[in-house]
Each structure stands twice: as structure tokens, then as C-alpha cells.
Amino acid sequence: MEVGPTTHYAMGGIRVNGETQATNIPGLFAAGECAAGLHGANRLGGNSLSDLIVFGKRAGEYAAKYAKENAAGKINDAQVEAAYKEAIEPFERAAGSGSEGPYQVQYDLQNMMQANVGIVRLQNEMEFALAGIEKLKERAAKVAVQGHLEYNPGWHTAIDLKHLLTVSEAITLCSLDRKESRGGHFREDFPDKDPEAAKYNSVIFKAADGSMKLRREPIPPMPEALKQVIEEMK
């Protein structure tokens, strides 16, 4: 029987306010595995419960509060129409036009990330993956699906591709920038921890031209009360 590693948790995620779980998009709140902030370089067993129960409660409370205070907000019909059009585009690509299905693109992305941005990482392999992601974006933009809107996993995969590529690119960019090994991130070409790298978080954002960019944001000093707890646990 073949035994191999698998990805089972994302330690990064959507950047949120620690108290309210609000994102930088008005009205959007995030909690659980998709949100960032609870974990450091590694995930401790049981932290998933904190993700769900503690921060899920906060997200729910503040989302409800936001909804009550902004009940008069108007839905942007143009944005809704644009999102709908983007979602059904795979159906509009005529069968036999040379467009491939979404599963092959997903399969190729999985294989490339596993081979080049897996547990053991190297500069040249991640650079290869970054270039490969750009090619897969072009393929993903042309995939076609058939059938109906109801219960169509091929259509769901076609929609997912954009998000899978976004996450893959973010992971690769952050891993390239972090020239050290820490927690779940191991670089064979930089096997040691860099003390300076413990002083910042890597934040991915969308630039004005639509491209993905990275910035380093300083980590605030640890509160004295928390330092004391950690010292007592040693």
C-alpha cells in the first residue's frame, strides 16, 4: 500500500480583525480554517475547535450587528450580473471548440503543486510552479462544461479553478519570499530559522493592475501578560 503526505489544513487564510472577524471588504466576515490569525508557524491539535467555536461566535455576532446597522444598503445589480455572467461562461463555450474540461486543469495543478511546492521546497522548483500557474490560468479561463446547472460537479470544478489557482499562487509567493524554515514551511536551500523572519507576517494583496503582490507586515509586540503565561509553561 502506498503511503504519502497530504495537505489537511491551511495555516494562512483571509486576513481578519481579531475581535470582529471582519475582512477589509465591508460586510464580509470570515471564521474557521479560511481565516488567518490564530495559528503561527504550525497548527496545534485541537485549534480547529477554537477556529470554529470562539471565532465563529465572534463572526456571527458582528456579522449580525453589521447587517442591522446597514439594512438600507443597496445591492449592486451590475456586480451581480457580472458575477452571474462569469459563472455561466463555461456553458457558453461551444462543445468541440477545442476547450478542455475543468478536471484536467485541476489534476495538472494538483500534480504541479505537489511536485514543486510540497513539504520540501526549493527556489528553482517554486519558480517553475509560479510560471506554471500562469499557464494554468490561461487554460482555466477557457474550460468548457456541458449539462445543466443542477447537480453539475464539472461546473462546480470550473468555478473552483479560479480560487484554487489564487491559493496556489499565494502559497508559492509567500514560500519564495520566506527564505528560512519554520513550522510547516521547510526549505531545503534555507534549512534554518531566520530570527528576523519571526518579526513579520506575509500578506498577499491584489494590486491596482490585478496582479498578486506580497508585503511584509510587522508583528505587534507580545503583551506582557501573554509572555508571562508562556514563561510559566516552559
- Least confidently predicted of 38-52, 112-126, 181-195, 199-213: 38-52
Distance, C-alpha 123 to centroid of its chain: 21
> Taking CA 80 as the corner, what is the angle to CA 95 and CA 73, rounded to the nearest 5 degrees?
170
The overall average pLDDT reported for the chain is 90
Number of structural domains in the chain: 2
Dihedral angle computed from the Cα positions of residues 109, 14, 176 and 212, in that order, rounded to the nearest 10 degrees: 80
Contact 116, 125 (CB under 8 A): yes
* CA 9 vs CA 48, 114, 200: distances in Å: 9, 15, 21
Domain identity same for 166 and 113: yes
Which one of 70, 100, 119 terminates a domain?
A: 70
Separation of alpha carbons 139 and 162, rounded Å: 11
Alpha-carbon dihedral sign for residues 88, 92, 93, 96 = positive
Residue 76 inside a domain? The answer is no
Domain identity same for 35 and 103: no
Domain identity same for 143 and 218: yes
Residue 175's Cβ-count burial label (10 Å; 0-12, 13-18, 19+) is buried
Domain identity same for 151 and 202: yes
What confidence category does residue 73 fall into, taking pLDDT thresholds of 50, 70 and 90?
A: low
Of 165, 179, 168, 164, the C-alpha closest to 216 is: 179
3-class SS letters over 33-73:
HHECCCCCCCCCCCHHHHHHHHHHHHHHHHHHHHHHHCCCC
Domain identity same for 137 and 202: yes
Domain that holds residue 129: 91-233
The pTM is what? 0.88
What confidence category does residue 214 fall into, taking pLDDT thresholds of 50, 70 and 90?
A: very high
Domain identity same for 103 and 62: no
pLDDT (mean) for 65-93 = 89
Give the residue, 78 or 38, on which the prediction is more confident: 78
Distance, C-alpha 197 to centroid of its chain: 21
